[in-house]
A and B are shown apart, each in its own frame.
Chain A
Amino acid sequence: MRGARKLIRLMAVATVVVSSACNDAASPTAPSPAMSPVTVVYDSQLYPRGAASRTLSVTQSGDVVVTLTSVRPDASVALGVGLGIPRADGGGCHLSHSVIAASGASPQLSATVDSGTYCVKVFDLGTLTDAVSFSITIVHP
């Protein structure tokens, strides 16, 4: 009789231990990390009536922000800055947006884009008489 009681007690303990051991608590899953924006600095030269472009690969949808940070030697020269998709023949951009930009620290152009390949184009507005150097900062997802 004593043996039977002991058996019942031990079975009860074993059940508690087993049920707690099988507790399938869902382990917390870390949220997928937000991708940090990518910053690209594009330095080049622009000739009278010319244009220069640079492609960028955007891995997720978000905002592309473009800043013409400097034009040398004359910082007061305004240039055209545009954003679009690369031409299939590789010869520049099909522009979706463009602005007339004076160099500065504040972004002159931004747009929300899907993931994919895009391009930024810098172009003479017809005012250049000599070559200039420029610097563009592009921030994209």
Chain B
Amino acid sequence: MRALSVIAAALFATACGSDGVETPTSSSPAQPTATTITFAGSLEVGASRFYSFTAATGGAVSVMLASVASQSGGVPLPTSLGVGVGVPSGTGCALMQLVSAQPGLNAQLQHTINQGVHCVSVFDEGTMTTPVYFAVRFSHP
């Protein structure tokens, strides 16, 4: 009888083998810190502006055209502007992805980039009739 008790106990001990077994877990890699930049200025009719930055690692760029405002009084305008992400080329920014963005407080453009130098561009799509102030907030890896 004692032998049977021992067998039952052994069954208990071995049948739940997945419990209590320490599986080595690799430490999760450190998350790259995103850098947030506010790029603001004036934009003339028919013009474009861009801002160059260096991505320390590959990852997502998120771009928000937060504000388009009149140069007289800074009144917010519903004017759409072109917004894009690309790489500096000569004296410009060669766009890899672009959108037509209405100003707002949600990111209008997300794009995945590799490590290296990139640029965010803002441009008149042909709809502006007067110069405006713009403000873009973007984050990059």
A residues adjacent to B (C-beta < 8 A):
6-7, 10-11, 13-15, 17-19, 21-22, 24, 61, 64, 82-88, 94-98, 111-114, 116, 118
Counting CB contacts under 8 A, is B103 at the interface? Answer: yes
Is B106 touching A113 in the complex (CB atoms < 8 A)? yes
- Within 124-141 of B, Cβ neighbours of A (below 8 Å) are at 133, 135, 137
Nearest 5 interchain pairs by C-beta: A94-B135, A94-B67, A113-B105, A14-B8, A88-B38
10 additional contacts, CB 8 Å, given A6-B4, A85-B66?
A14-B7, A14-B8, A17-B8, A19-B15, A24-B18, A84-B66, A85-B137, A87-B38, A88-B38, A97-B76
0/1 string, B68-82, CB within 8 A of A gives 1: 010000111000000
Query: Within the assembled complex, what's the spacing in Å between the Cα atoms of A141 and B43?
Result: 33
Query: Within the assembled complex, what's the spacing in Å between the Cα atoms of A78 and B36?
Result: 35
Query: Within the assembled complex, what's the spacing in Å between the Cα atoms of A11 and B5?
Result: 10
0/1 string, B54-92, CB within 8 A of A gives 1: 000000000010110100001110000000000000000
Is A82 touching B76 in the complex (CB atoms < 8 A)? yes
Contacts of A83 in B (CB 8 A): 105
Chain B's nearest CB lies how many Å from the CB of A24? 8
Is B11 touching A15 in the complex (CB atoms < 8 A)? yes
Interface residues on B, range: 20 to 34
Is A10 touching B67 in the complex (CB atoms < 8 A)? no
Counting CB contacts under 8 A, is B40 at the interface? Answer: yes
Contacts of A10 in B (CB 8 A): 4, 7-8
Counting CB contacts under 8 A, is B16 at the interface? Answer: yes
Contacts of A94 in B (CB 8 A): 38, 40, 66-67, 69, 133, 135
Query: Within the assembled complex, what's the spacing in Å between the Cα atoms of A22 and B17?
Result: 9
Counting CB contacts under 8 A, is B32 at the interface? Answer: no
Query: Within the assembled complex, what's the spacing in Å between the Cα atoms of A60 and B8?
Result: 54
Query: Within the assembled complex, what's the spacing in Å between the Cα atoms of A88 and B135?
Result: 10
Is A96 touching B103 in the complex (CB atoms < 8 A)? yes
In the complex, residue of chain A having the shortest beta-carbon distance to the beta carbon of B74: A95
**Which of B7, B11, B16, B67 is A85 in contact with, Cβ under 8 Å?**
B67
Counting CB contacts under 8 A, is B45 at the interface? Answer: no
Given A85-B38, A87-B40, A94-B67: A112 and B7 interface contact (C-beta under 8 Å) = no
Is B74 touching A112 in the complex (CB atoms < 8 A)? no
Contacts of A7 in B (CB 8 A): 4
